[in-house]
Structure 1
Amino acid sequence: MDLFIGDVPLCYTNSVAMVLKSQGYHYHPEYLEAIMVMGNGASFVDKNSKHPLVFFDNGLPDLSISNCLTILGFNYEEFYLPNFDENTIVHTRKKLEQLLNNGSVVVGPLDMGHLSYNPNSLNQSGVDHFVLVTKLEKDFVYLHDPAGYPCMKMRFGEFVKAWKAEAIHYKRGSFSMWGNLKRIKEPTPQEIFHDVSIIMKKRYEQRSTKVIEYYANSVKTNGLNQQQQQIHQYFSFRLASARNLYMSEFLKNFDSTRAEIKKQLAVLFGQAHLDSMEENYTHLANTLMEIGELEQQFRALCLRYKGV
């Protein structure tokens, strides 16, 4: 199957690709997304008894950025504040200035509802996002936004409102950023595969099982409400399909069995998108059940991984 390259909401991955490129290291976002190890399993965002919200991943973007940079052999500085007051904003600005002295800085999660240069920002309140900050000059932050807005600038005070990420519940803290990258080793492809496999194994050990099957039964009984429809039609299924294709491509030279399962999952998530567009919830429930069965096979193989 050909690899998909196109418009997929991978802001954290694209931001990392940009910061690495600025340092002279070129990695395709599709490859970085596989190393992020985001698109496995499923997690409840809201376990509503009738209309639960489910994302088809078992990782978090901020932790995955750190993992990705480490796997690729980079040393870096990361910063975030679990708690803050107005006095800490001065400290945060100084830290950003310090990191920018050594190159561009990945920043996020941000709350997209406060990114006023995006004409759809009012409809995206509480949606997480990542960008690349390139400069801080006087009262303005300059940035590249991978959602399609290069060369943007915002007043620092307005940017801070997004950077607090108060509505983003998964974050480790506010004002998260990564910078001052230095490569300290160049891992082999086999070493990268091993590190990715260990992360997959750990995440499956730590996360709930049978989430997809639970969701399939819910869809079969109750259909989808408006919020679920919007998430699936605009975001989750197409993202899950792309992620599975990228992981399949990454795995194919190391583990053909897991690579083939990921390819099949990509096809099924594509079908799930079509089912949701047609509002055929019986068929969607059946597709989700097939996804759940394959996901359990993939999970079992990941948990069996022993390394070298």
Structure 2
Amino acid sequence: MTYLGNSPSCYANTLAMTLGSPIGPPLVEVLTSSAFGYQRIGPLPLFDPPGWDPDQGLDQALRIMGVDHERRTFEDPNEALATLRRLTTGGPVFAGPLEMGLLRHQEGSDRPTGADHFVAVLDVDDDRVMMHDPRGHPFATLPTEDFMAAWGSDTIGYARGRFPLRTGFTVPVGTAEEWVAASLPDSLTWAEGDEAIPNFPPGNEQGLTELAEEAATHALSDLTADVLRNFSLRLGARRRSDAADALHNVPELSALLREQGRLIGGGQLDAIDSDWTALAARFTEVAELHTQIVVALRSIVA
């Protein structure tokens, strides 16, 4: 059964709002290959491939769909704001990554945390910025000064330039089935760990095994445990559910992804209850399934 509901897929939701074509967030997410791996960034356990980040994922999805666009960054805050204001007169503008901890319309956001976020900016005037925030805040507004602080923050590790935006999207070319098929070589590259960042903690099978060992020995930090509870497990499960649906024409791969999603999503209560032994067993199985997913991808892409 297809899952419908909320998930923290802010960049996919924002692109779906600003692309100007009827393409849903689940398809965007699948085309980024986010479901094909696991990585650890400091204390943060993330169920996406080693070296992957939302900006790279968006570049990949847009390329696969044949969409041309312009990604812009700015050194001068005044130029950035003036450009954003001008662009919103023609429609919503994709903005991000922003520093989520400085988006004050979100309860509890009062300081930088290094968490990334993306929004669709609707209108800019002298005093405030109006946006559709996919974290559940349509028509949210912020004083211009506050928005600029979040947009121009230097706290997002993977960000390329300050005040990033995307605009000028052309019409996608092709069909969803063609795009999903075309994404598989990229997914294999990500799943094999070819884009892993040197000197970062190991990802995929080795990283999941280490995470399982930490859980089994009750060595998870409080931050790691909180990220699992509040973000990583539910997003990792959703990504695999969406990918399994999109790959229904490849039954073996679809089944492996769905089983991974079942294991990851089923760990939510384990994390809430701090049942680290049960969660460790799940991570071990997820690692074993990743190996099988790589083999399946190789047979398809070959």
TM-score by length of 2: 0.89
Is 1:15 aligned with 2:6? Answer: no
Matched with 2:96 is 108
Matched with 1:80 is 73
Matched with 1:49 is none
Cα distance, 1:299 vs structure 2:
2.1
Cα distance, 1:303 vs structure 2:
4.0
Task: Decide whether the 8 Å contact of 2:102 with 2:150 is kept in 1.
Answer: yes
Matched with 2:261 is 266
Structure 1 CA distance for aligned equivalents of residues 132 and 118 of structure 2: 10
Q: Which secondary structure state, in structure 2, belongs to the residue aligned with residue 75 of structure 1?
A: coil
Matched with 2:44 is 53
Q: Deviations over 1:180-205 (max 9, x none)?
A: 1122x521344312321122122232
Q: Which secondary structure state, in structure 2, belongs to the residue aligned with residue 129 of structure 1?
A: strand
Is 1:215 aligned with 2:215? Answer: no
Task: Decide whether the 8 Å contact of 2:241 with 2:257 is kept in 1.
Answer: yes
Structure 1 CA distance for aligned equivalents of residues 77 and 116 of structure 2: 20
Superposition map of 1:33-44 within 5 A: 33-44=29-40
Cα distance, 1:41 vs structure 2:
0.9
Superposition map of 1:185-204 within 5 A: 186-204=173-191
Structure 2 CA distance for aligned equivalents of residues 293 and 107 of structure 1: 37
- In the alignment, structure 2 segments of 5+ residues that lack a partner are 197-202
Superposition map of 1:247-258 within 5 A: 247-253=243-249, 255-258=250-253
Cα distance, 1:301 vs structure 2:
2.5
Cα distance, 1:304 vs structure 2:
4.5
Structure 2 CA distance for aligned equivalents of residues 90 and 173 of structure 1: 15
| Higher alpha-carbon deviation: 289-298 or 215-224 | 215-224
Superposition map of 1:1-308 within 5 A: 2-20=1-19, 23=20, 25-46=21-42, 52-58=43-49, 59-81=52-74, 84=75, 88-122=76-110, 125-183=113-171, 186-204=173-191, 205-207=194-196, 208-209=203-204, 210-253=206-249, 255-306=250-301
Structure 2 letter corresponding to 1:140: R
In the superposition, relative to structure 1, how do residues 146 and 190 fare at CA in structure 2: closer, same or farther (>3 Å)?
closer
- How large is the RMSD of aligned CA atoms in angstroms? 2.0
TM-score by length of 1: 0.87
Structure 1 letter corresponding to 2:141: K
Write 1 or 2 for the structure with the bigger share of strand.
Answer: 1
What is the number of residues matched between the two proteins? 291
Cα distance, 1:56 vs structure 2:
0.9
Task: Decide whether the 8 Å contact of 1:99 with 1:180 is kept in 2.
Answer: no
Structure 2 CA distance for aligned equivalents of residues 172 and 6 of structure 1: 31
Task: Decide whether the 8 Å contact of 2:30 with 2:180 is kept in 1.
Answer: no
In the superposition, relative to structure 1, how do residues 221 and 109 fare at CA in structure 2: closer, same or farther (>3 Å)?
same
In the superposition, relative to structure 1, how do residues 301 and 98 fare at CA in structure 2: closer, same or farther (>3 Å)?
farther
Structure 2 CA distance for aligned equivalents of residues 53 and 140 of structure 1: 33
Q: Which secondary structure state, in structure 1, belongs to the residue aligned with residue 68 of structure 2?
A: strand
Task: Decide whether the 8 Å contact of 2:18 with 2:92 is kept in 1.
Answer: yes
Structure 1 CA distance for aligned equivalents of residues 188 and 44 of structure 2: 24
- In the alignment, structure 1 segments of 5+ residues that lack a partner are 47-51
Structure 1 CA distance for aligned equivalents of residues 180 and 170 of structure 2: 21
Identity of aligned residues (%): 26
Structure 2 letter corresponding to 1:106: F
| Higher alpha-carbon deviation: 262-271 or 119-128 | 119-128
Q: Deviations over 1:192-236 (max 9, x none)?
A: 123211221222322344211121112212343321221111111
Structure 1 CA distance for aligned equivalents of residues 267 and 128 of structure 2: 43
Task: Decide whether the 8 Å contact of 2:114 with 2:157 is kept in 1.
Answer: no
